[in-house]
Each structure stands twice: as C-alpha cells, then as structure tokens.
Amino acid sequence: MKKLALAVCLWIPWPAVAQEPSVTIAYRNGLPQIQIDETQTSCPADGLTSQTRQKIIDAAAAEWSLFRFPRFALTAVKNYNVIPPGISPDEKRTRAEAGFVPRVLPIGHMEDDKEVRKRIGDYWASVRFHDVFVIQNQIWRYTDGHAGWGVYWSGAFVSFVMCKAGLANAEFVRSGTHVAYIRPAVAQRDGARSGYAYTAYDLAEAIPAPGDLLCAARDDEDMVIDNLDAFRKNRHASYHCDIVVGFDVADPKKAGIVYAIGGNVINAVSLTEAPMSRGHVVKVRVPVGRNWFAVLKLADAAGPAKFQNIPAAITASAEKIAKRSLHRKEQSSAAGSR
C-alpha cells in the first residue's frame, strides 16, 4: 500500500516539563474524585518568543496523540488524508445538496474513558476550575464514575495549549470560554489593545498559518455570527476555536484542506479537516458544521513552524485497520450476494 504523506506536523513527542497544570484524582469506593486543593496551576513563563508557533503546534499534536488521533471530517475524501479512505465513511453517502455534511471517524479515546479523565482535568487546571471540579465530582458520584465531563472543555483545551507554549496572561487570556480570548484579539484589531499574541481577521482577509485559530459560533442555528462585525454587535457567548496545524499541501495558498486540532470535538481532542479555497477557509454552513467567522492570526514574532510527515508507525497501524475494514466490507458484500 502506498505510504501516506501529509505536509503537517501531526505528532511530536513533548519533553517532560515540570511546569504544567495538572490535577490529582483519587478513587473513593471506586469512584473518581478530583482533589481540588491539590490542583497545580503553574505554566512556563517564556512569553512570546520565536519558538512559540512551533510550541503551540507540538503541544496540540501531543494532546491529539493522547486521544489516539480521532478525526472530524468536513470535506470530501482526498488522496491524502490523515487516515486512509478505507476507514473513512463513504463520501458519496454523506453528500448533500448544500455541499458536504460532516463525517465523523470516532477512533481513539473519548471524554468518558478513564484513560483521558485526568488529562481533561489538567486542561481545566489552566483556567478557573473550582466550580467545574465541584460539578464534575458530583456527576461522578451520581453516575458511579461512568459519565464524561459535564461542562464544555474546548476553551480549557486551547488555554492549556497556550499555557504549555509559554504565553503570558497579557498575551493570551486563558479561560474556559472561547469568547474570553477572542474579544482581546478583536480589540487588538480595533486598536483598543496592544501586545496580545493574536489579532482577529475575517476569513477573506487572512490566509491561516500553523498556530493560528479558526473560530465559529456554537449554538448559532441562524448563523448570525458570520463575521467580525456580527461578533462585535451580538452578545452571543458560545463559541468554538481550533488550532491550525497544517494543510494537505505545503503552500497554504494552494491548499484544499486545512487541518486544525481542537478539544471537545466529538467528545475528544480531535483533528478537524475543513475545506479551503485559494488560501482562505470555506464556511461549512450545514448542521453541526463550522460556520467559521474569523481567523485569529498569531503574531509574526512567534516564529516559523516546521511541518513533519505522519510517523511511519502511525501510518502502518492505520493501514492495518484499513485493510481489516475493507476485508469486512468484502465479506459483507459477498454474503449479501448469495
């Protein structure tokens, strides 16, 4: 089988760092309980440097690897995909009159799996966490420890990544809500703030780069939040942003797909595959799609980012899964024709 190639940094081992937000989970009568008073909240104090962009990508990719690489596809199946087409849902079955509908490949760990229970708690440790942990401990008591997280944690995930990358509070507002860090980026665009690591742009104004953030409004059924002007005028508070990690080709201006990693996507840290056209991200205006309204551009001082191919061990494992999937399909088709 042809080796999979992709011009994107998808997984880089992250060296052990002493300063990292973390939680302690104890088990009482078999039930998980967060030890709130033992929460560690420290972050590296590097500030914005010429290595920041690479640190952001590396940190996001490392977290994705911990969840075993789930993917959320908003585009057609291409020759080069994160996971071989053999285990991706059939594109023809998911085509709609309005374009493409999301295809989910939910492999790996999800938020109710004990393997990532603590890690999601670590994300929350990078922001204001006390009430969230109180709620979560109650949820685990009421469900015998089987439930996932009761509060959306995608904003906490992005904040954790920025914490690991060393951004100071003045450079990135860490919060459990995305709107808290989007507003300063818009304020910097409007000249009302300076020194922030990100500046907001409409989709047509900016070509995304690794380390940038793609943002859309959540629970916006009428798709009112369609650009920065709509964001400024509305009090809508629910948003979602993903961290750009790369593209299907080396030149973003020629890319057909942008890859971005986000938290709480299909209840995991997942990589979203979204369409691009002539260097700009395309809105996916379908239910549970992504009506992107802004690109938050990381400051040039954050330096460059080096793309890497998917490690051979990962592609080999994915191809084995693909072969088993295709074999099962062939057996099913043969049985159906008898």
| Residue closest to 103 by CA, chosen among 77, 80, 64, 66 | 77
Q: Are 48 and 162 in contact (CB under 8 A)?
A: no
Across 194-203, 265-274, 310-319, least confident range: 310-319
The continuous run of DSSP H or E covering 43 comes out as none
pLDDT in tens, 257-303: 898 999 999 899 998 988 899 999 999 887 778 999 999 999 999 99
Band (192; pLDDT cuts 50, 70, 90): very high
From CA 283, how far away is CA 100, in angstroms rounded? Answer: 11
Q: Are 242 and 265 in contact (CB under 8 A)?
A: yes
pLDDT in tens, 133-178: 999 999 999 999 999 999 999 999 999 999 999 999 999 999 999 9
All structural domains of the chain with their residue ranges: 25-325
The continuous run of DSSP H or E covering 15 comes out as none
| Residue closest to 286 by CA, chosen among 27, 94, 4 | 94
Q: Are 168 and 47 in contact (CB under 8 A)?
A: yes
